[in-house]
Every structure is written in structure tokens, then in C-alpha cells.
Structure 1
Amino acid sequence: MAEIHLISDGRLAPGEFINLAAAVYPLVDYIHLREKHRSALELLDMAKQLLLAGVPASSLVINDRLDVALAAGAGAVQLAWNSLPPAAARAAAPRLRLGRSVHSAAEAAEAGLQGADYCLFGHVFPTACKPGQQERGLGLLGEAVRCSRIPLIAIGGIEPGNAGQVIRQGAAGIAVMSGICGAGDAVSAARAYRLAVQEA
């Protein structure tokens, strides 16, 4: 079944995001802490609170910070373009699930060669998170899927109404930020995404 990755958008207060994540984690597969403006200590505290709130360690992904992922006992780290290369991260943390953020078919292919377990490809559709930047579109998504030897998760402007198109291009799942974090009813939003990927 296609995966759903919930990614924090950095706009909610720590307590707000923890409450949201605790409410929706049964409906999603992974929860990413992507809080670029927070210190390692703040991230570690948020990670520990998520675990105490019931989020399984295997479902917790720390963005960029391999040290925090290891200290928290998280199941995975999401490596950005300016993070450690997957090969270096693998050497330091051989048991950690490694994700790599990519923006082209070539980068998706390279991520698998470097030892990543999956890649996050985007942005697929126009999104407020990337104002003024051209979206990759479904065609480039399909090309990246064909070039990738590892599962590819699509991100960027994905809504319940277009999630099926993404899955039908061969993506192994979707990643969502504002579609859940910014929703008036996060649980209903997560349920709508889950239904959309199931139907696809």
C-alpha cells in the first residue's frame, strides 16, 4: 500500500504539532520532524515528546540531523541536498532508514546508488512552500520513478484530489505538509489522504 509521510511545516508550536501528530499517526505511515529553525536540543525534546505521545519510533523521521535521529532512537533520517551524503550517513548509522531529498531523475538514480532506502521527490505541483519555483510535474515524476532503484515518495502541492495521479505514476507514496498541518481538522484531512491513496 502507498505510504503517507506527514512532514512538520515549522509553523506550529512544538506542543501543537505533537498533539496533531498524536491524533493523526494511526492514519499516516511516517512523521517527519522538519524544523530547520530549531536547535538540536529543541529537536531532541520534540522527538522525545512525540514518542511519549505514542508515535512509534519506527515511524519517526528526523530531517537533516543524523545526530538527533540517533540520540532520539528515531527510525529514520531525511537527508536534504546539503546534508551528509547517504554513503556517509550509512557508514555512521548502518541500521537507520535513510531518505534522500531529490529534484530530478538523475538525483533519484544517484540516491539509490549511494545507499538511500527511499527518496523524496518534488515539488510535483505548485505549492506555497516554494513560491516562484517551477513545479516538476507528473511527467518528470514518472521519469524519476523509472530511473530510481528505490521507492520514491512524491511531495509538493499534493491534495486528496490529485494524490491518485501521483500514485498512478508509480510513486510509492506521498508526503504532505500544509495539507494536514494547516487543515482546520487534521484528522479528517489525514483520513481523506488515506482514502485517496487506497482508491488509487
Structure 2
Amino acid sequence: MKPLFDLSVYLVLGPQDCPGQNPVDIAVAAAQNGATVVQLRDKTGSTRAQIELAGQLMQALTPLDVPLIVNNRVDVALAVDAAGVHVGQDDMDALKTRQLIGPDKLLGLSVSTQNELDAAHIAACDYLGIGACFPTNSKDDAAEVGMQSFTGLTAQSSLPVVGIGGISLANADQVIKAGADGVAVISAICGASNPSAATRRLREIVKSAKDPRR
């Protein structure tokens, strides 16, 4: 059975985002303080290292009922029985990814343009990541969508949407007010002096921004 998921506070992290710190420790601190999804995104680690880290994350997050999503690497996700996979436009096609992971795993897809949204295999996916909402240094090839375009793309989506790219405590409310179901962050938590407190604050911001929509 496919796991339930809540995109509200979607933490993306890998070793490169946590210099001098253990990514598992940050993930646990975030999960204990309001993070609702954790995605492992490691573009440089060996397959063995990624599987080891993913396994540690699974062991730590499963008791906290926070799903682990693996970015791009279907093999890593399947090796540790992660909750799902997230793919971008340059990764494996979403339809092929769904065929490989089966019907009971979550699948997210990143889109940045109207053409990408129109071409997306929506039926194969469970949620969309739309962005970059704001300028970001975490992904060199991420084109900034801007909030006006983000709002338009999000309004067309039949799937839940998590905003991605350059989101911080200072602008997360804009993303939710533009129609997103959640915000994906890296440095807002990983780069915080107190990741637990930063996660709690982000969760409060998201909840407050969502309340008027109910």
C-alpha cells in the first residue's frame, strides 16, 4: 500500500549540505520538530555510500513516521525500501520510473515550465515539485520560475505541489499562499545554527499560511 504523505515541510539533504555534521542527525532533528518528508539528494557519493546513508536514514526516520524519498536513484531507493523516488527533467522518465518502483511507492516529479507540465506523465506521479521559486545556489541548472509563473503552474496541477528552490523562513509563506501544499528546503534547515528550532518555525509559517485557505 502506498504510504500517506504530507508535503508541508519537505527537507532535502545530502552530505554536501551538512558540512561537519551528520546528515542523519539533522534529518532526525527536523523530523522530530515538524519535517514531514525527507529527501536524500546526493549527486556525488558512490552507490555504496548512498545506500549506506539511505539505510541509516530509513532506520532513523521509520519510527518517526516520516517517509524517505530518494532523488533520482531508483536503485538506492529500492535497495533500502525507501518510501519513494523523486525525478527531475534530466533524470529517468517518470513513466519508466513508475514501472521500476511499482505501484506502492511515492513518485515526485520536478517541473519548471508550462511545456514540462504539459508533457508530464501525471498519472504516474503522486506530487509535483515546481520551481525554482526563488534564486538558488543548490542547483546550478535550476531556472528561476518566479512567483507569478509558479502560481499559474500550481493552479493547473491536479496533484499536490511542493515549492522548490531558494525557499527560506522569510519567503516560505509566499509559496504556500500561491497554492503550494508544502515547501522544500535545504539551507533553511541544514544551514541553520539550530535545525530543530528552524524546522519548528518553518512548520509554524506553513501552517499559518495554510489556515486562511481552509
Q: Same fold (TM over 0.5)?
A: yes
* Percent identical residues: 32
- Note if 1:7 corresponds to 2:12: yes
C-alpha distance 76-38 of structure 1, shift in aligned 2 (>3 A):
same
Partner residue, 2:91: 83
Tell me which amino acid in the other structure corresponds to 2:53: M
Which of 59, 62, 84 is the matching residue for 2:70?
62
Give per-residue Cα distances to partners, 1:97-121, cap 9 Å, x unaligned: 1011111133234335351111111
Larger deviation, residues 145-154 vs 64-73: 145-154
The count of residues paired between Structure 1 and Structure 2 equals: 200
Return the alpha-carbon distance in structure 1 between the equivalents of residues 82 and 143 of structure 2.
Answer: 33
1:56-135 matches, within 5 Å, as 59-94=67-102, 95-113=104-122, 115-130=124-139, 135=144
Cα RMSD of the aligned pairs, angstroms, is: 2.2
Return the alpha-carbon distance in structure 1 between the equivalents of residues 62 and 7 of structure 2.
Answer: 19
Give per-residue Cα distances to partners, 1:130-181, cap 9 Å, x unaligned: 5697621110111111222211110112122221111111111110011111
**Residue segments in structure 2 that go unaligned for 5+ positions in a row:** 1-5, 210-214
Normalising by the residue count of structure 1, what TM-score does the alignment of the two structures yield? 0.90
Give per-residue Cα distances to partners, 1:63-88, cap 9 Å, x unaligned: 10011101111001011222111111
Partner residue, 1:28: 35
Deviation of 1:2 after TM superposition, in Å, equals 5.6
Normalising by the residue count of structure 2, what TM-score does the alignment of the two structures yield? 0.85
C-alpha distance 59-4 of structure 1, shift in aligned 2 (>3 A):
same
Tell me which amino acid in the other structure corresponds to 1:113: I
Larger deviation, residues 103-112 vs 156-165: 103-112
